[in-house]
Chain A
Amino acid sequence: MSTPNKTVKSPARSGRALLILALIIFGLLATTFIQGVSSVKLGLDLRGGTSVTLQPRASNDSNKVTSEAIDQAVSIIRQRVDSIGVAESEVTAQGSGTNRQIVISVPGDSGRRVVDLVGQTAELRFRQVLAEGSGISNPADTSTAATPAAGVNADLNAKYAALDCTNPASREGTGADSPADTIVSCSRDGGAKYILAPAEVLGTQVSSAEAGYDPSQGLAWFVSLTFNGDGTKAFGALTNRVTSLQSPLNQVAIVLDGLVVSAPRINEAIPSGNAQITGSFSQVEAQDLANVLKYGALPLAFDRGEVQQVSPTLGADQLSAGLLAGALGLGLVLIYSLLYYRGLGLVVVGSLALAALIVYLLFLVLGETIGFTLTLAGIAGAIVAIGVTADSFIVFFERIRDEAREGRSIRSAVESGWAKARHTILVADAVSLIAAALLYFFAVGGVRGFAFTLGLTTLVDLIIVFFFTKPMVSIMAGVKFFSSGHPLSGLSPKSIGMKNYRTASITADSTNSVSTQSVSTLEA
C-alpha cells in the first residue's frame, strides 16, 4: 500500500498505464484479425438448436462409472453425432472426474434426431469378413464387389457396391445390426467397407483387454485380449475355421456400434482364449482399441437429464432481448453516473465503453481458441457485471471525495484515495472471482456460461480500473476544471459536502506538498 504519491511522477505513470491498455486492446484486435473472426459464437439458446445432457449411471454392478468409461462413451456418442453431418455439433463431458455429464449440442433444426440417436446402446461384436473394399461407392460394378461367399446374395452385393463410406451418414452408428444377419458396414474412418458374416463372438464375452508393447521389437504396440469361458470356445472355433482361408476371409472384424473398428487377420487358431492383435499401431490407437474391447459397448447407461430444443425464432428473440437489456442497463448506469458524478461521470462512460470493447474482443478470441459460446445466461452475467464494474468506480470516486473532505487538494486526494480504494477494489473483485470460479466448477450448462462471463468481466474490470480509470482521473486532476472543483466536475466542494468553496480551492493550491507528505505517513 505504500505507493509513492509524488504527484510529479503521476503523468508519466498515467501515460504508461494508458499505453499498456492500448497495447492490450491492439493485441486483441490483431488476434481477431489473424483468426479472421468477426462475430461472437452464439449458444444454442440464442440461435436455435438441440442440446441434450446425459447423466452417466452404472448399468450393472460390474460396470462402474469410471473416468475412462465416460471418455469411451463420449467418443462413441461423438461418432454418432458426427454422422448426422451438422457442422459445429459438439459432444463434451462437463464436470470433473467421474462426476461428469455428457452434453451434446447440435445447432439448427436437424438436432431432433440426436435425441433418438444417443439413446441407443452400442454393441461390440466379432464378425468374419466376407469382403473388403475401399470406402467409395461404386454402384455400377456389382460383379466384382465381393468374392461370393455363403449368405452373400445379389441384394447384399448391390447394397455393398452402393455403400459410400465417405458420406458421414453411412457412418451413423445405429447399434441396430442384428447379430444373426450378414451385414454391410463401413470402417469407423470411412476408408474401407465390408461385408460381414453373422456375429460369432459378442462383446460381453471379452473379459479383459490391454494395450502393451514389446520392447524387443522396438516400440511395436499391440493389444492383448482375454475371453471368458464361452468366448474362449467361440473365438477358438472362429479362428480355427478362418485361419486357413484366403484373404479377406481370414480376417475377423471387431464391430462396434455397427462400424468396423479393426479387422485383423487371424494367423493361427487361438483356442486358449488369449489373443494378441498386432499391427502398425500407435500408442493412442492401441489404447483406443483396447478400450473399445474392454468396454464392449457404450460402457455406461445414461439417464436423459435434460433435452432442450430451441427454435431459431425463439433464439433470435432471446438474443435481441438480451442485447436490449444490456443496452438499457448500460444506458441507465451511464445516465446515473453522469448525473451523480458530473465530470467524473465521463470517465465512467469511457471506462464502460472500453470494458465493453475488451469483453467483446475477448468473446471473439475465446470463441476461436477455447470454443467459447455466448448463451443467454452469459449475456445476463455480462449485464450483471456492469454493476460490478461501475462499483469499482464508485469506491474510487467516493474515496477521492473522502480524501478531499480531509482537506486535501484534488490532485493529492486522487492519489491517496486511489491507494486506499485499490485495496478495497482488489479484495471485492477477488470475492467476485472466487464466486465465479466456484460456480463454474460446480455447475452444469447455463450456470457455467453465466459464471464464465461474470469471471471474465470481473478481470476486465480490474484491467480497466488499473489501466484506464485511475490514469484518466489522475490526468484530469491536473486539469484546472477538475482541480479547482468546478461545479460540473463532480468534485466541487458543494457536491463533496464541504461547506466552504474557498477553503477547498486554497487548499488545492497551497497544501499540496503537506498533504502528500501526510499520506506517506499514514501509509507507512
Chain B
Amino acid sequence: MVKLSGLGGRLYTGETSFNIVGNRRRWYSISAIFILLSIGALLIQGLHLGIEFKGGSSYTVNKAGTTVEQARAAVADVDIPGEIIVQKIGDDKVKVQTGALSAAQSAAVEKALTIAFNVPLESIDTQLIGPSWGKEITKKALYGLIAFLIVIMIFLTMIFEPKMAISAIVAVVHDVFITVGIYALVGFDVTPATVIGFLTILGYSLYDTVVVFDKVRENTKSVAAVGKVTYSQAANLAVNQTIVRSANTSLIALLPVGAILFVGAGLLGAGTLKDLSLALFIGLAVGTYSSIFIAPPFLASLREKEPAMQALAKRVASRGGAEPVSASVSANSERAAIRPSVGRGPRNQPKRKGRK
C-alpha cells in the first residue's frame, strides 16, 4: 500500500510517468478491436434475454431435496406449449421456466407443482411476464439512456467545455458497447437488474472521467500562455496524477460490488443481486479503463486539432523540450512557478512563489 502511495508521489511530480495520452493510437486500436468483437458477438450470438424481456413464466419451489427430474415430470403432465427449462438453484430450490402462459395454464402449473412436491401454494415463488412487457421496459431503458446522455452532455459542457463533454460521452458509449459485448460473448442472462447495472455503469464511468477531467482542466488552463508543454503532455500529467486515485476508487467501488456478487451468486444462487452486481463488476472494470485510456487521449486528440494547440506543439518542439516523460519538464503550467520541484528542497525558493 505504501509502495502504491509512493508511486502516487512519483507520478504526481512526473518523476515516473506513463505516456498514456501519447500512445493514444494503441489504446484506440485495442478498444476498436474490442468494440468490433462486441458488435460481432451481438450480431452472431445476440443477448441471452431473461423471461422479463421475452415474456414467460417462472416458478420456484422452495423445498430441500427437490430434484430437476421431479419438477420436469410434474410439469410434463400439464399441457403447456413451448420449451420448459428446469434449473436447480442452491440446495433447496428448483426453478421451472416456461413460455408465456394464460392465467389458467399458470394455475395448472402451480397446482401440479404443489402436488408433486407436497408444498403449500404460498411457498412457490411465481413470476409471470406478459409478452409485450419486455418491449415496454426496453423502450423505457432506451429513453432513459438517451435522456441521460443528452443531459450529461449539457451539464459537462456547462461545467467543463464541449470537447470534454464529447470525450466523456465517447468513453461512456465505449463502456456500454464493450460491457454488452461481453454479455453477448459469455452468454450471461440479461434481466431488468442487468439493465439497472448497465445504467449505473454510465454514472460510474462518467464520475471517474469527471475526476480525471477536473485535473486535466486545471493543468491545461494556461498551457498556451506558458508554452513549455503541449496540451497532450499537460493532459498526460493530469492522467498520471489521478491514476492512483482512479485505481483506489475502482478498487473501493469494486469491494462492495464484489460483496454483492459473492452473496448474490454464492448464497442466493440467482436473482436481482447477482444480475445487478455482475453487470456492475464488468462495467466498472471497463469504465476505469476508459476513464484513463480513452477519455483523456480522445480529448487530447480533439484539442490538438485546434490551431492554437498546434502552434503550441510547434513552439514546444522547437524549444526541444518535447520529451513528455522527462521529470525535469514540469508540465503543470501554473504550478510550474510555484512548485519548486518537490524533493529538492522546497525551502530554498519560497520567494519565487505565486506571481508571474
* Stretch of A188-196, A200-208, A358-366, A386-394 that contacts chain B: A386-394
Q: Does A420 have its Cβ within 8 Å of any Cβ on chain B?
A: yes
Q: Are B196 and A447 in contact (CB under 8 A)?
A: yes
Q: Interface 1/0s, chain A 43-62, versus B by CB < 8 A?
A: 00100100001010000000
Q: Which B residues lie within 8 Å of A33 (CB)?
A: none
Name the one of B62, B127, B136, B267 contacting A313, with C-beta atoms under 8 angstroms. B62
Total contacts A-B at CB 8 Å: 291
Let me know if B123 is at the binding interface, CB within 8 A: yes
Please tell me if the beta carbons of A454 and B200 are within 8 angstroms of each other in the complex: yes
Q: Are B128 and A306 in contact (CB under 8 A)?
A: yes
Q: Are B338 and A518 in contact (CB under 8 A)?
A: yes
The answer on a CB contact under 8 Å between A497 and B10 is yes
Given A329-B260, A496-B9, A406 contacting B244 (CB threshold 8 A): no
Chain A residues closer than 8 Å to B245, beta-carbon distance: 394-395, 398
Interface SS majority for chain A? helix
Report yes or no: B206 in contact with A431, Cβ–Cβ below 8 A: yes
Q: Of B1, B7, B52, B343, which is within 8 A of A306 by CB?
A: B52
Residues in chain B near residue A340, CB distance under 8 A: 1, 4-5, 248
- Selecting from A2-10, A112-120, A167-175, the interface stretch reads A112-120
Task: Tell whether, in the assembled complex, residue A401 and residue B5 are in contact, meaning their CB atoms are under 8 Å apart.
Answer: yes
Closest residue on chain B to residue A99 by CB atoms: B140
Cβ contact of A402, chosen from B6, B126, B241, B264, cutoff 8 A: B241
Q: Which of B23-31, B70-78, B148-156 contacts A (4 or more CB under 8 A)?
A: B148-156
The answer to the question of A34 belonging to the interface, with a C-beta cut-off of 8 Å to chain B, is no
Contact of B251 among A336, A401, A507 (CB under 8 A): A336
Q: Please tell me which one of the listed residues A116, A435, A497, A511 contacts residue B12 in the complex, with CB atoms under 8 A apart.
A: A497
The residues of B that contact A305 with a CB separation of less than 8 Å are: 129-130, 132-133, 136
A384 at the B interface (CB under 8 A): yes
Stretch at the interface among B179-187, B269-277, B317-325: B269-277
Q: Are A438 and B9 in contact (CB under 8 A)?
A: no
Q: A321-B267, A435-B199, A447-B195 are in contact. Are A442 and B144 (CB under 8 A)?
A: yes
| CB within 8 Å for A311 and B123 given contacts A391-B207, A406-B342 | yes
Residues of B at the A interface (CB closer than 8 Å) are 1-2, 4-10, 12-13, 52, 60, 62, 103, 121-130, 132-133, 136-137, 140-141, 143-144, 147-148, 151-152, 155-156, 159, 192-193, 195-196, 199-200, 202-204, 206-207, 210-211, 214, 218, 241-242, 244-245, 248-249, 251-260, 262-264, 267-268, 271-273, 276-277, 280, 334-335, 338-340, 342-343, 345-347, 350, 353-355
18 further interface pairs, Cβ-Cβ under 8 Å (given A424-B211, A443-B196):
A55-B133, A305-B136, A317-B268, A387-B249, A387-B253, A390-B252, A395-B211, A401-B5, A407-B342, A442-B143, A442-B147, A444-B136, A454-B203, A494-B6, A495-B2, A495-B6, A498-B342, A522-B354
Interface residues of A (CB under 8 A from B): 45, 48, 53, 55, 101, 109, 112, 115-116, 119, 303-314, 317-318, 321-322, 324-326, 328-330, 332-333, 336-337, 339-340, 376-377, 380, 383-384, 386-388, 390-391, 394-395, 398, 401-402, 405-407, 420, 423-424, 427-428, 430-432, 434-436, 438-439, 441-447, 450, 454, 494-500, 503, 506-507, 510-511, 514, 517-518, 521-522
